[in-house]
Chains A and B, each alone.
Chain A
Amino acid sequence: MITRFLLRALDRKAIWLIVVLVAVSILVPVANLVVPAGNPLHLDAVWVPLLGKYLTWAMLALALDLVWGYCGILSLGHGAFFALGGYAMGMYLMRQIGARGVYANPILPDFMVFLNWKALPWYWYGFDMFWFAAIMVVVAPGVLAFLFGWFAFRSRVTGVYLSIITQAMTYALLLAFFRNDMGFGGNNGLTDFKDILGFNVQAEATRAALFAITALFLAAAVLVCSGIVNSKLGNVMIAIRDAESRARFLGYRVDNVKLFAFVVSAIIAGIAGALYVPQVGIINPNEFSPANSIEVVIWTAVGGRGTIIGPIIGAILVNAGKSYFTAALPDYWLYALGALFMLTTIFLPHGIVGLVLGRGRKRRAPNNPSGQPEPLPERSADAEAGEDMGVLSPRAAE
């Protein structure tokens, strides 16, 4: 069963991608640590966490693509799952600081001492153990996605309405995490990390290792997503994306399929967040901001939704552009991002990957042999789905 899943996951494209990611996980640390400075192949230490950050974002975009590109669920709140995974990791890192904090309290993190708290809140218990934090990285986003999806998909909330409530979800969490009495460090968030598993988070070797682990986790996420979309369940997801009620009349429990995809996606996003935090050294409520989640949608659209490699390329390229622009022309980045999104939806409906593979052409119906006007695609059966998202609809540009 599992072997069948893995064999199907490893189609030619996925194998290439995984090989590249594994190679990157080796080459980048080597170029940074082994190749001596001055050698043209040497990678300066500042690049390692930056590239690692791009890869965690690529993982987040891949997670979004699983639900949006393949199942038609446009989540505008995926940053929330990323942030929850990040907070779980951040809580572990906070507790590793121990007595080395400014207030030298062996149990309480600095912000709690500052707030005059006497004891650790119950929900911080266990986070001094890495294995517990690692479980929470998966459980916290997974449970939130399950509860959210359970209610939303069961009540058949789709299209724009679903997108809006995902925004509301991440916004509500943003406001909640801003509050000091939530016990997550308020608007400063969690920072000043010292160690991870006994290694100094600032050390170059640790950072190189974190990078390598991130690349390997991204490769694993590619394997899982590829396995899902290449299975018959992947066909069902695409069927739901294209004609939801038709899939229902075939006897598929649309809500369960969506729930599965949503939870898997949230878990991948959470793991990405957990890998992000030790590399950037901080997690704060801004990670929940709705604008962040919308940016993820842009990366995915630019790279090419409905493909495995598209969101990865999109996340890396857009963020590389962002790093460049915000340094070179800081005032113009948001305009550039907006323009990029508009140009992509108008001229590259299948993103960069679609441009390269010519998928846009292939996906369109060739000349209609019967010579009569083609009826609108499956709208009649899907009228209640209300999935018209204008430019954001996967079909709108066809």
Chain B
Amino acid sequence: MTDETAPPVTTVDAAPQARTMLYLNGVSVSFDGFRALNNLSIIVHPAEMLAIIGPNGAGKTTMMDIITGKTRADAGEVLFDDTIDLRKLDEAKIANLGIGRKFQKPTVFESQTVWDNLLLALKKPRGVFPTLFYGADNDDVTRIDDILRIIRLSARKGELAAGLSHGQKQWLEIGMLLAQDPKLLLVDEPVAGMTDAETVETAKLLKDIATTRSVVVVEHDMSFVRELGCRVTCLAEGTVLAEGTLDQVSANPVVIERYLGR
């Protein structure tokens, strides 16, 4: 965990020396003349959690779109696991490399059961014919049962996802991320619409996940970010405003002026 040994402010313009899970360097993208990302550089190390904060329109979701292949960068480098260039791959390939994404609004498959949602996400061959002839073996069943326990939906595994509460859908989606067994998780506003108790539990769960995988969390909820106790990057207008611990970032006068003070 990063909370005891808060790393110093990372100088993002330096070349990546240590192994990086995600390396964004000088990424820019424009939509109809609007610069959504402007020379954005971010590094995420293996088994590290990074929280990204920033005002609406700062480019947080666009950044996730670039990483997951939904949007193409106009310029800059996007590297995964040190060497893999993500800019040329499509969504499915990127997902299969080991990048999982949770959307801002919980997007689970509502007309399918909780169990089937997890089964769909489970890391298995994704081709048409392997899927057609797939049968869940004991390992798969155990794995899904484990995830159901972690996300506390064991009792509701046979129910349609549409019947879950908002918070439970968020958890189911986190469970689907776990089932994908990714190396890097991109989590967009995981606690939106959750109760305080659920928020605390989610923070615990994500911290637990981050002991073995890299996690990038985009969040507005400052108390949640504090709960995470990880490195924080503040974005504004498509570029990095400040980096460091939450205290360092929230003490930064530019951050106060452009984001927190608003």
Contacts and interface: CB of A to CB of B under 8 A. Distances in A.
A381 B91 CA distance: 13
Interface residues of B, number: 40
Given A233-B132, A239-B109, A251-B126, A363 B160 contact: yes
A231 B133 contact: yes
A287 B120 CA distance: 39
Nearest to B162: A365
Given A239-B109, A260-B128, A1 B92 contact: no
A13 interface: no
Interface string B68-105: 10100000000000000000001110011000110111
A257 B167 CA distance: 31
Interface in B109-131: 109-112, 116, 119-121, 126-128, 131
Nearest to A259: B128
A260 B111 CA distance: 22
Given A378-B110, A380-B105, A232 B132 contact: yes
Interface string B157-196: 0001011011100000000100010000000000001000
Contacts of B107: 243, 246, 378, 380-382
Contacts of A381: 103, 105, 107
Nearest to B121: A250
B54 interface: no
Interface stretch (A58-66, A124-132, A368-376): A368-376
Interface string B229-260: 00000000000000000000000000000000
B176 A250 contact: yes
A232 B134 contact: yes
A375 B95 CA distance: 25
Interface in A202-259: 228, 231-233, 235-236, 238-239, 242-243, 245-254, 256-257
9 pairs of A and B residues whose beta carbons are closest in the complex: A251-B95, A370-B165, A365-B162, A233-B132, A248-B91, A233-B131, A251-B96, A232-B134, A381-B107
16 contacts: A231-B131, A231-B134, A232-B120, A232-B134, A233-B132, A233-B134, A235-B120, A239-B120, A242-B109, A248-B92, A249-B91, A253-B92, A257-B128, A368-B166, A375-B105, A382-B107
